[in-house]
Amino acid sequence: MFYDTFWALILGFSLSGVIQAFVSRAKMKSLLGDHSAPAIARASFFGVISSSCSYAASGLAHSLHKKGADFTASMIFMFASTNLVIELGLVLWVLVGWQFAAAEFIGGGIMILMLWAVLPWATRGLTMSKPDSLAADEEAMSSHPTLRDAAGFAIGDFRMMRVELIVGFVVAGLATRLIPTHMWLTLFLNGHGWVAQVENAVIGPVIACVSFVCSVGNIPLAAALWHAGITFGGTISFIFADLLSLPLILLYRKYFGARLTYRLMLVFWSVMSVSGLVTDRIFTALGWIPTRRSVVMSTRHVALNATTLLNLVSLVIVGLIICLYARKSGESSDFAIDPVCGMQVRKSDAAATATIDGSTYYFCMEGCKDSFLSRPGL
């Protein structure tokens, strides 16, 4: 699986790094002040071009809301930045086919429309009020982004997601090779018509919750589940449920409080499951549901083929990124490295900051700041 998807991951991280370096998040906040149709469209677009790990996405969404963005727009930004991103679509295409890559975007659009309709009503009275000025705490950028900054974002994204990626590949490999097919078939109903469709779509997010894998890391496991027997809609629901892993639920509780978190979990679960079902029905009507399904992932051997050539080109790109990142950034750089997770953040709109002994530290989310401040000796 890693051999097949290496080039897609490198391409996705590289493009994401360029976009994050040259698109200011300060501008995003100023454009997401309500949940009108234009604001929701902007939130979705900014999410698509701001690919990030689910943990970082939740931290950024919380930061956007605290600094003035509408709660619904912030949540939609969070969904788009983890479910409608370049590397996710590329890895899906490579592992399970173009139909899943297309379903990611079609189903993701359906999910965003549902969130837009439901969230304002479901969270009424539980979200914080907006400050008078959306840009009151913004700082002007002191310099222009460079390719080195883009390389920093690409490396920072990998640092942030490396655990999820490793766990995703390992869990998927073990699930594919060690768990007998009949055990998967007892978990997912099969051959029971619409009952199986609904059951698979409902249980998909539950598996995502307990698997502790999020973002791009859950795609290998989704491929394993698909080949083991889960329906198309159930697989899509599982992929969308990267924002329902148990550690993230605990993080939401810390950000938003218990009452709002429980309501969000119910809304997220419902939206993910229904989106998977609707996408399944659309693709069935179009005749796009894949019909070939192997019992286990096929074993690939390294050979001189298109995948190998793409991987070699990707290695060259990795070398260029490392060389760019190795250059000294200078004291006036607008970017800093989160000392906890290693993610690169823009100083002017970091989710959290801390000043200790005259030195300022910047963090991608409040959770990283809390972890840093809890270290002995600080």
Per-residue pLDDT of the chain (378 residues; tens, 9 = 90+): 677 778 877 876 787 778 677 766 666 667 788 899 999 999 898 888 776 667 667 767 876 777 678 899 989 988 998 888 777 788 888 888 899 999 999 999 999 999 999 999 988 877 655 544 444 444 444 457 788 888 888 887 777 767 767 776 777 677 667 777 567 667 776 666 788 889 889 988 888 777 666 667 678 878 878 877 788 999 999 999 888 877 778 778 877 888 898 999 999 999 999 999 999 999 999 999 987 555 444 445 666 777 788 889 989 999 999 998 887 665 456 788 888 888 788 787 777 889 888 889 998 777 788 888 888 766
Integer Cα distance of 36 and 33 in angstroms: 9
CB 71 within 8 A of CB 65: yes
Indicate the residue type of 40: I
H or E segment and range at residue 74: helix 71-83
DSSP lists the bridge partners of residue 352 as 363
Give which of 69, 71, 105, 59 is closest to 86, Cα–Cα: 105
Beta pairing class for 352-356 and 344-346: unpaired
Secondary structure class of 301 (helix, strand, coil):
coil
Residue 221 C-alpha from the chain's centroid? 15
As a whole number of Å, the end-to-end CA separation of the chain is 42
